[in-house]
Structure 1
Amino acid sequence: MLNHKVKLEVEEYLIESGLDWTILQPTHVMQQMPLDPIISSGVMTLPYSPATVQGFIDLADFAQVVLKVARAPKEHNMARYELLGCIGSYNEVADIIASKIGKSVKIERIPAEQAAARAGTHPYTQEAMRRMYYYYDTRGLTGSPNVLRWLLGRDPSTWDSYLDRSFKK
Structure 2
Amino acid sequence: MILVFGASGTCGEAVIKALVKAGASVRGFVRNDERAAIARAAGASEIALGDLRNAESIENALKGVSGVFYVAPKFVADEACIGRMIVRMAGRAGVEKFVYQSALHSNVERLLHHELKREVEECLYESDLDFTILQPARLMHNILSSWQKILSTGVYSEPFSADAPISDVDFADVAEVAAIALTQSGYGRAAFELCCEGMLNRHQRVELLSDVLGRPIKSADISVEDWLAKARITDPFEREARTRMFDYYDDFGFKGGNALVLRSILGREPTGYRSYLKGTVKSC
Q: TM-score, normalised by structure 1?
A: 0.92
Deviations 1:110-137 (A, max 9, x none): 1112223436322222211111001111
What is residue 262 of structure 2 aligned with on the other side?
148
Contact 1:22 1:79 in 2 (8 A): yes
* 1:65 shift after superposition: 1.0
Per the alignment, residue 92 of structure 1 pairs with: 204
The residue type paired with residue 135 of structure 1 is: Y
Residue of structure 1 aligned with 2:160, choices 48, 53, 68: 48
Distance 2:279 2:242 in 1: 31
Residue in 1 that maps onto 2:37:
none
Q: 1:107, CA displacement in angstroms? A: 1.6
Counterpart of 1:29 (choices 139, 142, 155) is 139
Would the aligned equivalents of 2:213 and 2:281 in 1 still touch at CA under 8 Å? no
More helix by share: 1
Distance in 2 between the 1:37 and 1:116 partners? 16
Deviation string, structure 1 residues 43-72 (Cα, Å, up to 9, x no partner): 111000121110011122111111111112
Measure the CA separation in 1 of the matches of 2:154 and 2:276: 19
CA apart distance, 1:142: 2.0
Name the residue aligned to 1:123: 236
Describe the shift of the 1:126–1:166 C-alpha distance in structure 2 as closer, same or farther (beyond 3 A).
closer
Q: Would the aligned equivalents of 1:119 and 1:125 in 2 still touch at CA under 8 Å?
A: no
Q: 2:193 aligns with which of 65, 78, 82?
A: 82
Which of the residues 225, 246, 250 maps onto 1:133? Answer: 246
> Structure 1: how far apart are the matches of 2:202 and 2:193?
20
Q: 1:102 to 1:29 in 2, by over 3 A?
A: same
SS at match of 1:7: helix
Q: State the one-letter code of the partner of 2:234.
A: T
CA contact (8 A) 2:195 2:259 kept: yes
Report the Cα offset of residue 8 of structure 1: 0.3
Which residue type is aligned with residue 243 of structure 2?
Answer: R
**C-alpha distance in structure 2 between counterparts of 1:119 and 1:15, whole Å:** 37
* Equivalent position of 1:57 in the other structure: 169
5+ residue gaps in structure 2?
1-110
Aligned counterpart for 1:9 among listed residues 102, 119, 124: 119
Deviation at 1:150, TM superposition (A): 1.0
User: Highest CA radius of gyration, 1 or 2?
Assistant: 2
Calculate the aligned-residue CA RMSD, in Å. 1.5
Distance between the aligned counterparts of 2:269 and 2:227, measured in 1?
33
Counterpart of 1:82, as a letter, is E
Q: How big is the shift at 1:78?
A: 1.1
d(CA) in 1 for partners of 2:273 and 2:153? 20
Partner of 2:99: none
**Distance of 1:60 and 1:90 partners within structure 2:** 22
8 A contact 1:45–1:108 mirrored in 2: yes
CA distance in 1, matches of 2:232, 2:180: 32
1:52–1:147 CA distance, 2 compared to 1 (3 A) = same
The percent of aligned pairs where both chains have the same amino acid is 35
User: Structure 2 length as normaliser, TM-score?
Assistant: 0.56
